[in-house]
Structure 1
Amino acid sequence: MIAVVGHTAIDHIFSVPVLPERHGSTFITRHTVYYGGGAANIAAGIARLGGEAELISAVGGDFPGSKYETWMNELGIRRRLFMVGDERTATCYLYNDADGDQMTFFEWGASSAFATAEAPALDMVHLATADPSFNVRVAERGSFVSFDPGQDLLRYSKEDLEAIIANTDILFANRHEVRGMCTTMGITKDALFAQVPRAICTMSGDGSFLIEGGERRFVPAIPVGLADPTGAGDAYRAGFLTALSGGYDALTAAKVGTTAASFVVEVTGCQTNLPTWETMGARYREHFGALPAPGE
C-alpha cells in the first residue's frame, strides 16, 4: 500500500497566447476543467497502474456525491479525507502559453484543514503538495518517506525542509524546485542530494536523473506529441513508486515513471490519459527494451 498525502483539487486549465509580464494582460483562448491535485493525481496514477493507493487529503462540501468522488471509487482509491463542509475543495488555475511555459495560481480552500490535522503513522508514504507543518509531522512518523515540494515550495521554511529531508528516503523535484530548495536551505544542489539516499531530478522534455550513492544515471524522456505538460511529474512519481513497491530496481522504476508521464502529456488533464500497467509496458518495451522481472 502506498499512502499519498496532499491536495485533492479541481484544475482549471487555460490556454493563452503569451504569459503576461507584471501589470500586463492577455486573452484566454481555451478554458477546460479537470480532476487534479498533486496527491490525488499520484494516487490515481498508482491505482490505474494496478497498485494499491490510499489518499490522505482534504475536501470541501462540494466533494461528496461529485463526479470526482465517483471517479475515485471507480479507480479503487482508498481514502482518509478531512472534510471541511463550509469550504470548497482546493482549486488550481493553470495558464499555459504557446511556448509551453506555465503559470499556476492555487486556491487552498478545504486544504487549510491540514494545518491542524493529526498526522498518521504510515509504512510507505509519498508527501505531495500540502501544508508544510503537516508534511513535517507525517515525515517524522513515516517508515519510508518520499517527498516532492511541488508548487507549495514557497510555503516551506528552511526548518521545514531540513526536518523533512532528514526523514526522506526519496526526493523528487524538478530543476526549478531543486534551485528553490537550495536557496531556502542555503546549500548547493550536490549538498542537497547528498542528504537523501535517493533523488530524482526531472527536467521536463530533457529527461531525468536518478541520483543515489553519489552516482547520477540519466533517463531520457520519451518523445511524444505535447498537448499539456500539467501532471507529468505526478505521473512520473506514480510510475516510479508503483514499480519500486513492486520490487523493481530504482533505474527501472525511473524508466517506468518517465513512460507513465509520456501518456499524460499527450492529452490535456492530469488524470485524463493515465496508463494501465499493460499499456505502459508496451511503450516501455518500444523505448527501453524488455521490462525486467522484479528483483532482476
Structure 2
Amino acid sequence: MDLRIPPGDIDLLAIGEVLIDFISEEDVPSLGEAETFRRYQGGSPGNIAGNVARLGGASAIIAKTGIGAFGKFCKAELKRVGVITDYLVMDHRVHTSVIFVSRTTGTPDFEAFRAGDAELTPDEVSEEAIQRSRLVHASTFALSRRPCRDAVMRAFELAQRHGKLISLDPNYSPRVWPDQREAMAALQKLYALATVTKPSLDDASRLFGEGLQPEAYIERFHAWGPRLVVLTMGKNGVIVSDDGHVTHIPALPVTVIDATGAGDAFWAGYVTSLLDGHDPVFCAHVAQAVVAQKLQRVGPLPSSVDRQALYLQARQTMRPTT
C-alpha cells in the first residue's frame, strides 16, 4: 500500500479514555481472587500516547477526567513521559473513571467503573489538535457511551477532512457495551473513515463470532473500510494484511510476566515505525520487539526506549514469511 504520511508536529493524537488502572499485585485469572492492587495511569488511548512518547515520538491526548487526586495523577503521569496534555479536559462536574484489572499472562479480567471518560463532548475536540497531528487514534471502549462516541466521530471526521491517518482499535467487550448491534453499527460508521486497525483475535471473535479463520476475520475488517489490518494472535504471532496482501509473522519467544497493556505497547511500536516511513510488515517486527519488552515487566514500558535499537532488532529478526 502506498501510504502517504501527512505532515504535523504531533505524531499521534489519541482520543478516548484516560483513567486509573488498579492492577492486582497477584498473578490471578480473575479479580475475585485478587487481594491487593497497585495504581497506574490507564486507558488504552492514554497508554498508547504514553508509549509513543517513551519511544521518542510526539504524542497528545484528548480525553476527560475529574479534577481530583486521580485526575491530577493521570495528567502528571502523562506529562512525566512526555505526552502533550494541552487538550486533556479536567472537569469539576465528573469523577475520573477507574478500572480494576487482574495481572495475568493471558487475557486480563477487569471491571470498569465509568465516569468522566464517557462525558467528553464533540465541542471539546480541538480542531487545532487534529490539524497538528499526523495520525488520530481511538478505541472502541471510548465509543461505548455518549457523548464520547460523538466526540470520537467528530475527531475522525476532522481528521479525514485534514488528510490525516486514522487508526481504530476494535477492543470490543460485551461487558462494557452489552448492545452488540449498536456497537457494530457505530464501528461500521467509524471504520468507513479509518485507514488502519489493530484487532486482536479475541476482539475479532467477540465482534464476528468464534471459529472463523484469521483471514476471514481480516476480510471482515477490510470490508468495513481500513486498507491496513494488523491482526494480533498472541503466541501465534501477527498477520499483516496490506490492502489484501497477507503476511504472517511468528511471535518472538519471550517469558511472559504480565500481559496487561501488551496490545497498547504493540500498537505504539507499530504506528511509530509506520510514521517513520517503514513498510507495514517491518512495522510489525518493530511492534513485536516493543511488546516483548512489555511482556517481561509488570506495569508500563520503561520511561525511555531506544527506537533505533528496536529497528536494528527488527532487521535482525526478519526472516522469510508466508
Q: Same fold (TM over 0.5)?
A: yes
Change (3 A) 1:63 1:221: farther
Residue 191 of structure 1 corresponds to 220
Residue 146 of structure 1 is aligned with which of 157, 167, 184?
167
Is the CA contact (8 Å cut-off) linking 1:225 and 1:266 kept in structure 2?
yes
Task: Specify every segment of 5 or more residues in structure 2 that has no aligned partner in the other structure, as ranges.
Answer: 1-9, 144-148, 210-215
Q: Does 1:84 align with 2:91?
A: yes
Written as runs of structure 1 = structure 2, the 5 A alignment for 1:18-57 is 18-19=29-30, 26-28=32-34, 30-57=36-63
Written as runs of structure 1 = structure 2, the 5 A alignment for 1:217-296 is 217-271=247-301, 275-281=305-311, 283-284=313-314, 287-288=317-318
AA at the equivalent of 1:149: P
Residue 130 of structure 1 corresponds to 142
Moved more, 238-247 or 133-142: 133-142
SS of equivalent residue, structure 1 residue 34: strand
Q: Does 1:160 align with 2:198?
A: no
Residue 294 of structure 1 corresponds to none
Aligned length: 279
AA at the equivalent of 1:82: V
Change (3 A) 1:225 1:279: farther
d(CA) in 2 for partners of 1:48, 1:93: 24
AA at the equivalent of 1:9: L
Cα deviation for residue 244 of structure 1 reads: 0.9
Residue 74 of structure 1 corresponds to 80
Is the CA contact (8 Å cut-off) linking 1:172 and 1:201 kept in structure 2?
yes
AA at the equivalent of 1:19: S
Change (3 A) 1:108 1:170: same
Residue 213 of structure 1 corresponds to 243
d(CA) in 2 for partners of 1:76, 1:273: 9
Moved more, 168-177 or 221-230: 221-230
Is the CA contact (8 Å cut-off) linking 1:136 and 1:160 kept in structure 2?
no
AA at the equivalent of 2:78: M
Q: What percentage of aligned pairs have identical amino acids?
A: 22
Residue 3 of structure 2 corresponds to none
d(CA) in 2 for partners of 1:197, 1:254: 16
Cα deviation for residue 69 of structure 1 reads: 2.9
SS of equivalent residue, structure 2 residue 206: helix
d(CA) in 2 for partners of 1:274, 1:87: 32
Cα deviation for residue 18 of structure 1 reads: 4.3
Q: TM-score, normalised by structure 2?
A: 0.77
d(CA) in 1 for partners of 2:152, 2:193: 11
Is the CA contact (8 Å cut-off) linking 2:242 and 2:280 kept in structure 1?
no
Is the CA contact (8 Å cut-off) linking 1:82 and 1:113 kept in structure 2?
no
Cα deviation for residue 228 of structure 1 reads: 0.9
AA at the equivalent of 2:33: F
Cα deviation for residue 259 of structure 1 reads: 1.1
Task: Specify every segment of 5 or more residues in structure 1 that has no aligned partner in the other structure, as ranges.
Answer: 21-25, 290-296
Residue 16 of structure 2 is aligned with which of 6, 14, 36?
6
Give a deviation string over 1:222-268, Cα, whole Å, max 9, x none: 22221110111101111111111111111111111121111111111
